[in-house]
Structure 1
Amino acid sequence: MPGVQQRCAALVAAARARLRPTGNRVTGYLAVCAVGTLIGSSLAVGAGASGTRPRIADIGAWLASSAKGEVVHAHGLTGEVEGKAVLPDGMAGHPVSVAQDGDTTLVLDERTGRVVRIDAAQLTAEQSADYGAAGLQLVSGGAYAYVVDPAKGTVQRIDPAMTTAESPPVGVGGKPGAAVVDGDGTLWVPLPDQGTVVPFVEGRKGAAVKVAEAGHELALTLAGGRPVVTDGTTAAMTVLSARGVQGTFELGGAFAGADPADVLVPTGTDGSAVPVLAADSGDLVVVDVRSRQTTRARVPTEGHDLGAPQLLGKRVYIPDESTGSLLVYDTSLSALTEPVRVTDGAGSLELFVRDGLLWVNDPDGAAAAVIDAEGEVRRIGKYGTDAPSARKPGDEPVENSVPTGPPAAPPIPPRTDGPGATAPVSGTPSGGASGSPSPEVSGPGPTQPVPEPGAPGAPQAESRSGAIRITFAKALGATPQRYVLKGAARDQTVTPEAVGPDGPFAFEVRGGSCEEQYSFTVVAEYGGGRPDKESVPSAFARPCIAPGAPRNVTFTPAQGGHGGTVTWQPPQGENGSMTYVVNGPGGTANTTKPSYTYGNLKNRSKHGVSVMASNAAGSGAAASGWIDLTPPSQQMYIVNNTANEDPVIIRTSPLTSEGGRAGTMPGGRDDVVTVVHCKVKGTEIPWSNGEKTDVWAFHTYHDPATGKDTTGYTSDIFVNSRSNPDIWECE
């Protein structure tokens, strides 16, 4: 047995290290090892697997399903739901939060303050304690768990196993923000109104650490096990330890002018890098608090309801609750990539990193997903009914209470008079003491009732691209000759024309308009003079689905800049009429063409733009790009430069009353080349031939003699950029 376990452990370790973790092969190795272990256990103790409960995988997470009043455990490598635990009565429909650390999983009812422990071995949620207040925080880590009461300004340590209090509430001296617990079990409580963070080491309150001025917006992140405070008011970060401040540094000008409340950070990251997002402007900064390397970007915000970003590997994931999607920024490509659709529409999204995987969950619905470091997405269906769950003694599976065929005929009572009468012997079966069947009795007797014709089950309609699929349950009672579909329009075709009595019980309806909704019924035809039976109508459905993301979003600037045209291709496989929602500078616009033109924008600026396709069935994922109005540089010759040997001056400002000399270009030559970036209005300069202009060229001159580059402004008398249509205005 030890040898089998060792070999299995080595095999699983090798599989995880060498294979891309799609879950298929790794799960296979796990299954082989599980079988081997069970066989070994049976040989060792003389018992099989009967009565045992599947073990919850170590690489997984518990996800809340508030509406159903349960939590489910999903496998990180496959996305499969391995088990679920039903929360106590009264919690269904309440918002809940899950605190999981190691083998401890606690659930807080945010409306009542009840804390419940999940028993992963039994898949139960019976151990609980009531802390009697709404709006509490529950945090755990390193064998410690705490309940934080923001309204009262207290922290209370609780027993993670029993869920009961281990100490009375302790005041923290202010109103707490969102707290975190590090791997050592130290609780960190931010007090924005005081500008401090209070640590609780081994359950005991420590000295407050000053991190900001009182009243600043503070948010805590656990980055690679280290607490990091982000001051949204001053755009600064502070790294803490139990001994105090370990380092501080500025985030830079990316958040200048941002609303401090809109500066968002995650509560935890898997490494030392922390993503910071200004939700109003879309400025994104990824800061490595260990190496201090910083990555900056901008994501589209108009029309999006963005939440705190999460970082996994080289990608930053930003929840967009207006679409139920994750915006994805790839730091290695320096670009937005394909968004990840999580829900079918707007909805709340929870993100956290655990075991090197990003988990995203809709606590109010059935949708969830797990994403690995390579960006592979595995969908999680939380509402699946085949997941193991705890059952109380005497409970029967739901399926046993659902009829699957015609009702059984009532038992035939024994005849006691007339021909064929029988007289059972008291205390013994009628077939004799041995229980064998009685001989068939001759003569007339009762007959089985003929089953009545029944209607088919309610049909289910599933929208597909160009079609609607209808499935239904067969009729109970008598067996019909066939099933036919009613409700198809003249421009629709039904396949097959009829379904036989043995199925398969499905129709496909092709054609119709995406702008129209259709409902259908299924008719069971019995023949032989028996009446046909029609089902109830199906729900309305469209013969289309929401389109995918548009492709190849590109921007072509107008001559001279100040705007241009964004173009894209329709989503893959879509050729019907669609409306495109374009989010860019100035807000949201709609168009039916695969292009949109912008004007009156500042040159030397960059704007994010996203395009989302929609039809009558809904909207698809957004595709993103950039409106880049960086003026294109042009090589030009210096003019009016042969009259004398006086050098041509390059200034630091186009206004002669400001700045000074940045450098010069040689005079007396008409072959001097410079690179012109853009042109701008400045001080008007006259020339000896009567020419004058207030245009100045912003350019860079490379001196071949010294190898030095000089960038600045030169009067357009010597450049003539105003006659070049490819030279843009600077702003």
Structure 2
Amino acid sequence: MRGTAVIAAARAKLRPTGNHVTGYLAVCAAGTLIGTSLVVGAGASGTRPKLADVGAWLTSSAKGEVVHAHGLTGEVDGRAALPAGMAGHPVSVAQDGRTTLVLDERTGRVVRIDAAQLTAAQSTDYGAAGLQLVSGGAYAYVVDPVRGTVQRIDPALTTAESRPVQLGGKPGAAVVDGEGTLWVPLPDSGTVVPFVDGLKGAAVKVADAGHDLTLTVAGGRPVVTDGTAAATKVLSATGVRGAFDLGAAVAGADPADVLVPGGTEGSAVPVLAARTGDLVVVDVHSRHTVRVRVPTAGHVLGAPQLLGTRVYLPDETTGRLLVYDTAASALADPVPITDGPGELELFVRDGLLWVNDPDGAAAAVIDSDGEVRRIGKYGTAAPSARKPGDEPVEDGVPTGAPVEQVPPGAAVPGATAPGPGTPSVGASGGPSAGASGPPGPTPPAPEPGAPGAPQAESRSGAIRITFAEALGATPQRYVLKGAGPDQTVTPDEVGPDGPFVFEVRGGSCEKQYSFTVVAEYGGGRPDKESARSALARPCVAPGAPRNVTFTPDQGGHGGTVTWRAPQDAGSVTYTINGPGGTAETTEHSHAYSGLRNGIVRGVAVMARNAAGSGPAASGWIDLTPTAQQMNIVNNKPNGRDLGIRTKPHSTEGGRAGSIPPGENPEVTVHCNMRGEEITIGGKTTDVWARLTYYDPLIDKNITGYVTDLFVETRSNPDVWECE
């Protein structure tokens, strides 16, 4: 699937795990709306519209239809009416680039939208409320949280392709990654179940039983956030490939208040503790972590979405998007979407953020520069499948506003509105033009203001602090407070023109630090101190260990796995996943014993510090015996050939071949094993050598067993025991 970040956040009253997110994710996650490139079916009539390549389908539940909007203009370029009876029902849309599916969440009916004809083509009723519809790659799935099942369906016909598969627990919101693998969380058991190529795989243990789990697809990779343990982990079908600590602020939050999007286009995942406003952005590729606090008190928020340098927080109390600009380290103007409280659905697709009110006419699309375009979902000009003379669905509904930049809205919670007497600003940037007359009184000098709340970014050996300059009067300088005695701050001070950045080096990775910025004004004016930053560590999760190798013990049955530390690792603990389970060590090696010879097993090593564990490095424990070249001995010219047996026994089995009497040729010895006890010439042994002898008379290799009295492999430590 082209881009796996087509996501909407799930709503608390719907989401099986109880997290407060907005709607089920639909593409790459169960959701309520999907944006993607639309592929128009072959054979479409020339009179039918060709929908925009950069666009999204948006739901209009109250009207019982879905509309397609152009991503670059915001114009609606197509609409499709849903079957009778679906109007007013909550619906979700899933699109994988080839098919567009709509789920009636109240009845369980799945409908396919014909993009060429703009009609609801096929449908199948799965007869249950609260289902999840998930689509990606070559497959589509219906997930039943009540029955605990996953059923694969035909995305073109909407009919079932398999019987429901039992998951062994109640699932949370599922996603599909960039490889087309379905991932289903089972919070009750602390596991995530993958479906590779449509088939159920082994569950991956990610948390303790009962932990709150939310899945995200970040840059095509599955990531699980454990809201109970405040950790984010990168997954693969073989296990956890890296983990990141979200910090004390998230750890102290109610797991139900830890909000995560169902997907992001890049490798950064925003995590919001909604009650406290602690926002953490974890880059699962670079391992950098940004922490900041935003004012959220008294507001019902949905899961954050990340586009470019901005994090968007849907505020369903006001119908706006709160915006935090990580580049400016400050809140930006909020984006109004609806006229009042209501549900907002968000997802990022093809470098655009889509926002939709599923129960009303409001929608918008935002580009990476922050430019906002309104979408009038109820406009009458968009093509549909209705024939001339039919009553339009939109009859009597006002047309949406034209495409334009959305004006700034009211201040975000906690911000100060302009006071009385603040001069208005005209188009030129000066005071608004008005009636001529004498100038008014000189406005008072601006008051000293506090800098914006600092943003803390964890780096290797350091914490980077950025902040927004103080509003009002211009300070003489800015200084940083909060550094410990074992930390150094660079620079000592920041001038009034910036750059508004400090770097704090040193400190312990085991500790978390918080800082404030003080604006010093001088001249008898009071200094002003910012709010505290979120807690951060002077470290990032380590990288992958290097050069994982295995050295077998003499005789096999075990050996030692060794590796080199990651670059800039510092003090770390290593987790080794291999035969027998998981082990931990602070050394650069781990020994195995008691293993079977003749096997090859995988081993993975991850490095961990207080910030989390980095990606795993893999290797192989290869206990395949190495063949040895040896000579037959004691084969006397007594007229009796030396038999090569099919079993390590003188009578059981049979002969695979023989070596002529008096000849002691070179043979390839593979291993030895216990068999029948044999006594010859006063010597006794129950060891038999498994070997290969080239018989020149028949020009053929013969493999079988010869008693060790004629090979003496017991004296060669490089000959291993067979299994």
Alpha-carbon deviation of 1:567?
6.4
Q: For residue 396 of structure 1, what is the aligned residue in structure 2?
A: 389
Quick one: structure 1 residues 385 and 571, their matched pair in 2 at CA, closer, same or farther if it must change by over 3 Å?
farther
1:522-569 deviations in Å (ceiling 9; x for gaps) = xxxxxxxxxxxxxxxxxxxxxxxx995369x988xxxxxxxxx99697
Which of the numbers 88, 102, 110 marks the counterpart of 1:107? 102
1:318 aligns with 2:313: yes
Q: For residue 710 of structure 1, what is the aligned residue in structure 2?
A: none
Q: State the one-letter code of the partner of 1:200.
A: F
Contact 2:293 2:453 in 1 (8 A): no
Q: For residue 493 of structure 1, what is the aligned residue in structure 2?
A: none
Contact 2:101 2:113 in 1 (8 A): yes
Contact 1:548 1:572 in 2 (8 A): no
**C-alpha distance in 1 between matches for 2:319 and 2:102:** 24
Alpha-carbon deviation of 1:50?
8.4
1:186-206 deviations in Å (ceiling 9; x for gaps) = 100011111110000111100
1:361 aligns with 2:356: yes
Q: For residue 460 of structure 2, what is the aligned residue in structure 1?
A: none
1:194-233 deviations in Å (ceiling 9; x for gaps) = 1110000111100000111111111000001000001111
1:114-162 deviations in Å (ceiling 9; x for gaps) = 0000000000013100011111000100021000011111100000000
1:304 aligns with 2:299: yes
Q: For residue 56 of structure 2, what is the aligned residue in structure 1?
A: 61
Q: For residue 266 of structure 2, what is the aligned residue in structure 1?
A: 271
Which of the numbers 372, 378, 386 marks the counterpart of 2:373? 378
Alpha-carbon deviation of 1:398?
3.8
Q: For residue 14 of structure 1, what is the aligned residue in structure 2?
A: none
Bigger CA radius of gyration: 1
Q: For residue 160 of structure 1, what is the aligned residue in structure 2?
A: 155
Q: Secondary structure at the match of 1:305?
A: coil
**C-alpha distance in 2 between matches for 1:93 and 1:662:** 62
1:597-624 deviations in Å (ceiling 9; x for gaps) = 9xxxxx999699xxxxxxxxxxxxxxx9
Contact 2:142 2:151 in 1 (8 A): yes
Alpha-carbon deviation of 1:627?
11
1:549 aligns with 2:544: no
1:218 aligns with 2:79: no
**C-alpha distance in 2 between matches for 1:571 and 1:243:** 63
Quick one: structure 1 residues 136 and 726, their matched pair in 2 at CA, closer, same or farther if it must change by over 3 Å?
closer
1:294 aligns with 2:155: no
**C-alpha distance in 2 between matches for 1:291 and 1:662:** 26
Alpha-carbon deviation of 1:103?
2.1
Contact 2:335 2:408 in 1 (8 A): no
1:234 aligns with 2:229: yes
CA root-mean-square deviation: 4.6
1:187 aligns with 2:182: yes
Contact 2:218 2:266 in 1 (8 A): yes
Quick one: structure 1 residues 378 and 400, their matched pair in 2 at CA, closer, same or farther if it must change by over 3 Å?
closer
**C-alpha distance in 2 between matches for 1:375 and 1:605:** 20
Q: For residue 345 of structure 2, what is the aligned residue in structure 1?
A: 350
- TM-score w.r.t. the length of structure 1 is 0.51
Q: Secondary structure at the match of 1:370?
A: strand
Q: Secondary structure at the match of 2:375?
A: strand
Q: For residue 334 of structure 1, what is the aligned residue in structure 2?
A: 329
**C-alpha distance in 1 between matches for 2:470 and 2:72:** 35
**C-alpha distance in 2 between matches for 1:662 and 1:126:** 68
After superposition, residues 378-527 of structure 1 pair within 5 angstroms as 378-391=373-386, 396-398=389-391
Quick one: structure 1 residues 727 and 151, their matched pair in 2 at CA, closer, same or farther if it must change by over 3 Å?
closer
Contact 1:554 1:625 in 2 (8 A): no
Quick one: structure 1 residues 203 and 397, their matched pair in 2 at CA, closer, same or farther if it must change by over 3 Å?
same
Alpha-carbon deviation of 1:634?
12
**C-alpha distance in 2 between matches for 1:378 and 1:166:** 41
Q: For residue 138 of structure 1, what is the aligned residue in structure 2?
A: 133
Contact 2:219 2:265 in 1 (8 A): yes
Which of the numbers 95, 98, 109 marks the counterpart of 2:93? 98
**C-alpha distance in 1 between matches for 2:55 and 2:138:** 19
1:284 aligns with 2:279: yes
Q: For residue 695 of structure 2, what is the aligned residue in structure 1?
A: none
**C-alpha distance in 2 between matches for 1:99 and 1:167:** 19
Which of the numbers 71, 75, 91 marks the counterpart of 2:66? 71
Quick one: structure 1 residues 570 and 99, their matched pair in 2 at CA, closer, same or farther if it must change by over 3 Å?
farther
**C-alpha distance in 2 between matches for 1:152 and 1:625:** 54
**C-alpha distance in 2 between matches for 1:371 and 1:322:** 21
Q: For residue 700 of structure 1, what is the aligned residue in structure 2?
A: none
Alpha-carbon deviation of 1:253?
2.4
**C-alpha distance in 1 between matches for 2:141 and 2:109:** 13
Alpha-carbon deviation of 1:294?
1.3
Contact 2:301 2:314 in 1 (8 A): yes
**C-alpha distance in 2 between matches for 1:147 and 1:208:** 19
Q: State the one-letter code of the partner of 2:144.
A: D
Alpha-carbon deviation of 1:252?
2.0
**C-alpha distance in 2 between matches for 1:632 and 1:296:** 27
Q: State the one-letter code of the partner of 2:389.
A: E
**C-alpha distance in 2 between matches for 1:364 and 1:307:** 16
Q: State the one-letter code of the partner of 2:410.
A: A
Alpha-carbon deviation of 1:303?
2.9
Contact 1:606 1:626 in 2 (8 A): no
1:258 aligns with 2:242: no
Contact 1:182 1:227 in 2 (8 A): yes
Quick one: structure 1 residues 354 and 64, their matched pair in 2 at CA, closer, same or farther if it must change by over 3 Å?
same
Q: Secondary structure at the match of 1:165?
A: coil
**C-alpha distance in 1 between matches for 2:300 and 2:394:** 45
Alpha-carbon deviation of 1:625?
11
Quick one: structure 1 residues 604 and 194, their matched pair in 2 at CA, closer, same or farther if it must change by over 3 Å?
farther
1:368-417 deviations in Å (ceiling 9; x for gaps) = 1111111111110000111100025xx52448999xxxxxxxxxxxxxxx
Contact 1:88 1:126 in 2 (8 A): no
**C-alpha distance in 2 between matches for 1:221 and 1:335:** 26
**C-alpha distance in 2 between matches for 1:246 and 1:223:** 14
Quick one: structure 1 residues 50 and 252, their matched pair in 2 at CA, closer, same or farther if it must change by over 3 Å?
closer
Contact 2:334 2:408 in 1 (8 A): no
Quick one: structure 1 residues 725 and 121, their matched pair in 2 at CA, closer, same or farther if it must change by over 3 Å?
closer
**C-alpha distance in 1 between matches for 2:248 and 2:393:** 65
Quick one: structure 1 residues 118 and 150, their matched pair in 2 at CA, closer, same or farther if it must change by over 3 Å?
same
Alpha-carbon deviation of 1:354?
1.2
Q: Secondary structure at the match of 1:381?
A: coil
Q: State the one-letter code of the partner of 2:107.
A: T
Q: Secondary structure at the match of 1:230?
A: strand
Alpha-carbon deviation of 1:248?
1.1
Quick one: structure 1 residues 286 and 570, their matched pair in 2 at CA, closer, same or farther if it must change by over 3 Å?
farther
Contact 2:148 2:170 in 1 (8 A): yes
Aligned residues: 416
Alpha-carbon deviation of 1:302?
1.7
Q: State the one-letter code of the partner of 2:88.
A: G
Which ranges in structure 2 are unaligned for 5 or more consecutive residues? 1-42, 401-406, 427-443, 456-467, 494-524, 533-723
- TM-score w.r.t. the length of structure 2 is 0.51
Alpha-carbon deviation of 1:242?
2.3
Q: State the one-letter code of the partner of 2:114.
A: D
Contact 2:228 2:251 in 1 (8 A): no
